[in-house]
Chains A and B, each alone.
Chain A
């Protein structure tokens, strides 16, 4: 009997349950798809390094999933509560007819079970489809690592399925308990008059409203300052404090918002007493006690989404962008001969017999490698190499130029440009010299224009964002450096990377005419850049260099590092793409979830308020005026969480930018524009759907 009533109710109010159903279904689908990501490992062909990275990713997903689960619990409980509230009168009627409270609770639980089971099943089906789609998107992003299993391969993760089912059964249990409590606790009279009792808006006085609002802004401001000042480099109490404060500030902001708006507009009589303005404001205020919590959560989730998407796209762009710049050559073979700081002076690396061989070869890497390859019978160096250019990083062992010297000469301070991302004591680190002839040969090999220096001039190369701004300014100022007794003016700045490397880390090296280089200059590092005719030659060259690097044969060239372009692409793009992809994926899911929450909320409110709109129409308010009021209400609901989230994100992203600067240039402006456009499309679509839906509901009573 009870089951019959429950089934009947679900069928009857399918549109009411529809909102709940859709929410749970999307939640399940997203949760499953997200958690089954690690199962893709079995289908996608990853290299060993990527395998390790993907394991790490699995752990990250585990952590993020805990958060996602929390969001989902809120979503489900929220959608459920909305449903119960709408049906209080119906429950009152059951009790009036003499049904026991326990029976009504059973009906509610049965309804939840029916809808829950249906939406869980539908959500899982959608989740399978979504994870399948995800697999192809992922493999498409890993151009080099497309799935080996040709054609269709089905990813199914039993773990993810069990996890999803477990989480949602728990969620339903929580929701059922809450519902039962609502029904059991409620008094019959309250249930019957549920639609009549307007929420009492605790109106505060004007000064208090403004004070609360100002306090929320102040708290948010303090948290911004804490975050910007302390950065993200390591977990610190300041970071924790900033997190707590931004949360508190956001909640307070939405708690005070409608009261503040109402009081503010009330103070301006002509505005308050115009059209339906006072109705609109009261509408917003009437729901403050239930909406401030959800608006805060929506805002914080949007913040997380915007930050992760902007950060994700930004980091990927930065890495991909720098990879293009740092893979100008088919391969680079480098050898470290020594190190220098102004404290320790020049410290040679003991390369033993290999070092002696290098000296024997006159530090000519191409000649040394050619001889080594021949001696080892590893192949033909000249058959694979189309062109080669050697760049040596040099230092005057007696008096090397240091970062501190450049600061003194220019009057600039590096930390003003690089912020908190530089280590203390950077002043003793060297600024190496490069010979103009070698640099021009390397530029030419990369197909770039060569540079020329006048008498008494030098140029500076840096591919790191940490020092770029510093040197550019130093060039502008016409800084003159003392190099081996020559006064050389910094004539130009160049951002090119003169090697192929996964991590471009040249924080500054000056180019000088060959004749300025002192006789006793010591080589710190030698880089041999080569160009190969084909990818096959490049791969063969890489293998050849590995043979040379691994051999213990004394008469061979010492190799510290050797990278081919393919090595770099595999190492860097793979992980960054996955991370960025996940960030974007998670971010967009969250944005959609937020927009859905707001949409549900506004639509349900519009349907609750339908009699009010009907009354307004009876009083002769023109349709346009009523539409305008609905528009304003929906706009406030959609705009304020977004605006505050964008503000939070801007703050967080400035901090993220500092961190990312170590890897490469993060173009946040371009990224932000791109994201803003995407968000506006998604958000705007939801806004439009909500507005038109709400208008339809409002005019339905006519």
Chain B
């Protein structure tokens, strides 16, 4: 479509990615095959903050896993930072995850035996970054996320929001090409969630490219762009284009509602038609 890149450097390019689960390779056994992703294509430019939205079962988690190189698509290509990750194997994959990706999980996923400082530093020591460089970078990341005062605490001594910000610091301290966030606010109360999202905005303002999966319109409204996905297919996308956050949230909620309507209408043909209609409608605005 060409409307994603806008001339800036493309960090992520998803080309025609499909993922099928089940008894693959046997013709005529369609019933036992689940089509989790169906020819999904999009691109993310450097410095973007993108949300991927969709109801549960839409395939957004599968898409994230494929981007995270934890899962491999059945067909299609994913290019991140100029490397075709779908061609990487074994050792190259873990090296790629280590050097080019940052992760923020739903439940922080910090190591409970380590302090916040150590959790952040771990991402660097795994990369074998030289030790005298580590301290400065950890403190810088902590400052950016406002967690300097909890650095010596262990995860169970912190609040959920603090834990998620430590996770965000860990994900960004390595300066990855892409930060992947999987429902980062899912386990947080609204105030902590807002604080975290503001932190992510801040990180984005400092140049981090962030791709966030969420089903929450409020979270998505912090992003610059929202990609909607339903039944494994791209449903459409919304761009903020400098709009006010609450206005943007409103538009997001509208699209989510229309997705649900399509669901209720039932019938594959009708849904597909609706998808086309929405996409056109959205782009027309």
The reply on B91 being an interface residue by CB < 8 A is yes
The reply on A277 being an interface residue by CB < 8 A is yes
Inter-chain contacts of A620 with B (CB < 8 A) = 94-99, 101, 126-127
The reply on B142 being an interface residue by CB < 8 A is no
Provided the pairs A273-B125, A277-B125 are in contact, do residues A618 and B97 lie with their beta carbons within 8 angstroms?
A: yes
Q: Contact: B128 with A621, CB < 8 Å? A: no
One digit per residue, 1 when the CB lies within 8 angstroms of any chain A CB and 0 when it does not, for chain B 110-128 equals 0111100010011111111
- When chains A and B are docked, how far (Å) is the Cα of A285 from the Cα of B111? 14
- When chains A and B are docked, how far (Å) is the Cα of A285 from the Cα of B114? 10
Q: Contact: A282 with B118, CB < 8 Å? A: yes
Nearest CB in chain B: distance from A201 CB, A: 8
**A269 and chain B: residue at smallest CB distance:** B131
**A620 and chain B: residue at smallest CB distance:** B98
Q: Contact: A615 with B109, CB < 8 Å? A: yes
Q: Residue A198 contacts which of B94, B99, B156 (CB distance < 8 angstroms)?
A: B156
The reply on B222 being an interface residue by CB < 8 A is no
- When chains A and B are docked, how far (Å) is the Cα of A621 from the Cα of B68? 14
Inter-chain contacts of A12 with B (CB < 8 A) = none
The reply on B103 being an interface residue by CB < 8 A is yes
Nearest CB in chain A: distance from B144 CB, A: 19
Q: Residue B97 contacts which of A200, A612, A619 (CB distance < 8 angstroms)?
A: A619
Q: Contact: B128 with A619, CB < 8 Å? A: no
Inter-chain contacts of A615 with B (CB < 8 A) = 109, 111
- When chains A and B are docked, how far (Å) is the Cα of A311 from the Cα of B184? 63
- When chains A and B are docked, how far (Å) is the Cα of A616 from the Cα of B123? 9
Q: Contact: B121 with A278, CB < 8 Å? A: yes
One digit per residue, 1 when the CB lies within 8 angstroms of any chain B CB and 0 when it does not, for chain A 282-303 equals 1101100000000000000000
Nearest CB in chain B: distance from A362 CB, A: 89
Q: Residue B128 contacts which of A274, A278, A286 (CB distance < 8 angstroms)?
A: A274
- When chains A and B are docked, how far (Å) is the Cα of A366 from the Cα of B162? 101
One digit per residue, 1 when the CB lies within 8 angstroms of any chain A CB and 0 when it does not, for chain B 235-261 equals 000000000000000000000000000
- When chains A and B are docked, how far (Å) is the Cα of A491 from the Cα of B45? 98
The reply on A226 being an interface residue by CB < 8 A is no
Provided the pairs A619-B103, A620-B101 are in contact, do residues A275 and B113 lie with their beta carbons within 8 angstroms?
A: no
Beta-carbon contacts under 8 Å, A151-200 to B: 196-198, 200
The reply on B134 being an interface residue by CB < 8 A is yes
Which interface residue of A275, A278, A617 has the most chain B CB atoms within 10 A? A278
The reply on B154 being an interface residue by CB < 8 A is yes
The reply on B158 being an interface residue by CB < 8 A is no
- When chains A and B are docked, how far (Å) is the Cα of A278 from the Cα of B113? 10
One digit per residue, 1 when the CB lies within 8 angstroms of any chain B CB and 0 when it does not, for chain A 74-107 equals 0000000000000000000000000000000000
Provided the pairs A273-B131, A282-B118 are in contact, do residues A622 and B94 lie with their beta carbons within 8 angstroms?
A: yes
- When chains A and B are docked, how far (Å) is the Cα of A283 from the Cα of B122? 14
- When chains A and B are docked, how far (Å) is the Cα of A623 from the Cα of B92? 12
A-B contact count (CB 8 A): 87
Inter-chain contacts of B127 with A (CB < 8 A) = 620
Beta-carbon contacts under 8 Å, B82-101 to A: 91, 94-99, 101
Q: Residue A623 contacts which of B94, B97, B123, B124 (CB distance < 8 angstroms)?
A: B94
The reply on B23 being an interface residue by CB < 8 A is no
Which interface residue of A197, A619, A625 has the most chain B CB atoms within 10 A? A619
The reply on B282 being an interface residue by CB < 8 A is no
The reply on A270 being an interface residue by CB < 8 A is yes
**B109 and chain A: residue at smallest CB distance:** A615
The reply on B70 being an interface residue by CB < 8 A is yes
Beta-carbon contacts under 8 Å, A596-654 to B: 612, 615-623, 625
Q: Residue B113 contacts which of A269, A272, A277, A283 (CB distance < 8 angstroms)?
A: A283
Is the contact region of chain B dominated by helix, strand, or loop, or is it mixed? helix
Inter-chain contacts of B123 with A (CB < 8 A) = 619
Q: Residue B94 contacts which of A270, A274, A276, A617 (CB distance < 8 angstroms)?
A: A617
The reply on A699 being an interface residue by CB < 8 A is no
The reply on A136 being an interface residue by CB < 8 A is no
- When chains A and B are docked, how far (Å) is the Cα of A270 from the Cα of B134? 10
Inter-chain contacts of B128 with A (CB < 8 A) = 274-275
Which interface residue of A197, A198, A273, A623 has the most chain B CB atoms within 10 A? A273
Q: Contact: B113 with A197, CB < 8 Å? A: no
- When chains A and B are docked, how far (Å) is the Cα of A282 from the Cα of B117? 13
- When chains A and B are docked, how far (Å) is the Cα of A615 from the Cα of B170? 12
Provided the pairs A198-B113, A274-B128, A279-B113 are in contact, do residues A618 and B70 lie with their beta carbons within 8 angstroms?
A: yes
Nearest CB in chain B: distance from A170 CB, A: 37
**A278 and chain B: residue at smallest CB distance:** B118
Q: Contact: A622 with B91, CB < 8 Å? A: yes
- When chains A and B are docked, how far (Å) is the Cα of A275 from the Cα of B129? 9
Q: Contact: B131 with A270, CB < 8 Å? A: yes
Inter-chain contacts of B114 with A (CB < 8 A) = 278-279, 282
Inter-chain contacts of B154 with A (CB < 8 A) = 198, 200
Q: Contact: A278 with B70, CB < 8 Å? A: no
What is the number of residues of chain B that contact chain A, defined by CB distance less than 8 Å? 33
**A283 and chain B: residue at smallest CB distance:** B113
Q: Contact: A612 with B111, CB < 8 Å? A: yes
- When chains A and B are docked, how far (Å) is the Cα of A285 from the Cα of B113? 8
- When chains A and B are docked, how far (Å) is the Cα of A277 from the Cα of B128? 11
- When chains A and B are docked, how far (Å) is the Cα of A533 from the Cα of B128? 79
- When chains A and B are docked, how far (Å) is the Cα of A621 from the Cα of B128? 10
- When chains A and B are docked, how far (Å) is the Cα of A175 from the Cα of B131? 48
Nearest CB in chain A: distance from B127 CB, A: 8
Q: Contact: B111 with A274, CB < 8 Å? A: no
Nearest CB in chain A: distance from B92 CB, A: 11
Nearest CB in chain B: distance from A524 CB, A: 75
One digit per residue, 1 when the CB lies within 8 angstroms of any chain A CB and 0 when it does not, for chain B 136-153 equals 000000000000000000
Q: Residue B98 contacts which of A278, A279, A621 (CB distance < 8 angstroms)?
A: A621
- When chains A and B are docked, how far (Å) is the Cα of A307 from the Cα of B68? 56
- When chains A and B are docked, how far (Å) is the Cα of A275 from the Cα of B128? 6
Inter-chain contacts of B135 with A (CB < 8 A) = 269, 273
- When chains A and B are docked, how far (Å) is the Cα of A625 from the Cα of B91? 12
**B97 and chain A: residue at smallest CB distance:** A620
Nearest CB in chain A: distance from B99 CB, A: 7
Q: Contact: A621 with B113, CB < 8 Å? A: no
Q: Contact: B126 with A625, CB < 8 Å? A: yes
One digit per residue, 1 when the CB lies within 8 angstroms of any chain B CB and 0 when it does not, for chain A 671-685 equals 000000000000000
- When chains A and B are docked, how far (Å) is the Cα of A278 from the Cα of B94? 20
- When chains A and B are docked, how far (Å) is the Cα of A286 from the Cα of B156? 13
Inter-chain contacts of B112 with A (CB < 8 A) = 196, 198, 612
Inter-chain contacts of A625 with B (CB < 8 A) = 126
**B156 and chain A: residue at smallest CB distance:** A198
One digit per residue, 1 when the CB lies within 8 angstroms of any chain B CB and 0 when it does not, for chain A 253-275 equals 00000000000000001101111
Inter-chain contacts of A616 with B (CB < 8 A) = 111, 126
- When chains A and B are docked, how far (Å) is the Cα of A9 from the Cα of B76? 46
- When chains A and B are docked, how far (Å) is the Cα of A286 from the Cα of B127? 24
One digit per residue, 1 when the CB lies within 8 angstroms of any chain A CB and 0 when it does not, for chain B 260-284 equals 0000000000000000000000000
> 20 new A-B pairs (CB below 8 Å) besides A278-B118, A278-B122, A616-B111?
A198-B156, A269-B132, A273-B121, A273-B124, A273-B131, A274-B128, A274-B131, A615-B111, A617-B94, A618-B68, A618-B97, A618-B109, A619-B97, A619-B123, A619-B126, A620-B98, A620-B101, A620-B126, A623-B91, A623-B94
Provide a sorted-by-A list of 9 A–B residue pairs whose CB atoms are within 8 angstroms: A198-B156, A273-B134, A278-B114, A278-B125, A282-B118, A619-B122, A620-B95, A620-B97, A622-B94
The 4 A-B pairs at the shortest CB distance, nearest first, are namely A620-B98, A620-B97, A273-B131, A282-B113
